[in-house]
Amino acid sequence: MSRFEGKRVFLTGAASGVGKATHALFREEGAEVVAVDVQEAPDVIRLDITDTAAVVDLVTGSGPFDVVLNVAGIVRVEHTLDVTMELWDRQIAVNLTAPFAIIQAALPGLIERKGNIVNVGSIAGVRGQAYSAAYCASKGGIVMLTKGLALEYARRGVRINSVCPGGVWTPLVEGVAAIMPKDLNERLMQRTYNVLPPGFADPSEIAEAIAYLASDAARSVTGAAFMIDGGIDS
């Protein structure tokens, strides 16, 4: 039997990159997936997850769920002195506030169904990454949100984990690379490259890790920050 046969899954960031790979994998494994993204894509509901009222209405109206996957995220690489408060707020909103709102809305159903949550963090959430202070703050928040919730809800049968990728080559990363400043310190930037060749993971690798944590094979795992960083933090 497929790992997620008969399971109901809520997924953000489903239109591209890691979210798209995760969407495909969970559907292949038998899950019924309610997938959202700010971009249009087949079998994906177009929704800005920073619209808290709309996303909470969708979660509560289409639930309950067995699995919640917070994959959507944004990142910018630039000098901190050039970061506007609007850009700071947007990264915190997408990467941290929206996952919290989704989790809060989904928790009653997850408790009822003894479900689980997987949040996508980042290596930038556990170690410093230059020119990405807002991203580091948001992903560090996700890692600690995961750990705090995991402790709070363990005795109620809900597992909550995070995956923390290093470099993953996605349309998001490709777009960021195209617009980042040209005068960044190369030595500092090299700290973000995976040690294992070719330097970037494929989105399917992260999707597989998400699926493991969401599956019964990880029934003894909660509060984890599962590193998939190609040796960056070794």
> Which residues, at least 6 apart from 144, have a Cβ–Cβ distance to it below 8 Å?
none
Beta-carbon contacts of 51 under 8 Å, excluding residues fewer than 6 positions away, are none
Asked if 48 contacts 38 with a C-beta cutoff of 8 angstroms, the reply is yes
SS3 label, residue 58:
helix
| CB 215, CB 123: distance < 8 Å | no
Residue 15: CB atoms within 10 A of its CB come to 21
Write out the catalytic residue numbers. 135
In the chain, what is the greatest distance between 2 CA atoms, to the nearest angstrom?
53
Give the three-class secondary structure for 138. Answer: helix
CA angle 58, 1, 59 (to 5 degrees): 5
Strands across the sheet containing 116-120: 45-46, 32-37, 8-12, 67-70, 116-120, 159-165, 225-228
Q: Which residues are CB-neighbours of 38 under 8 A, at least 6 positions away?
A: 15, 46, 47, 48, 49, 72
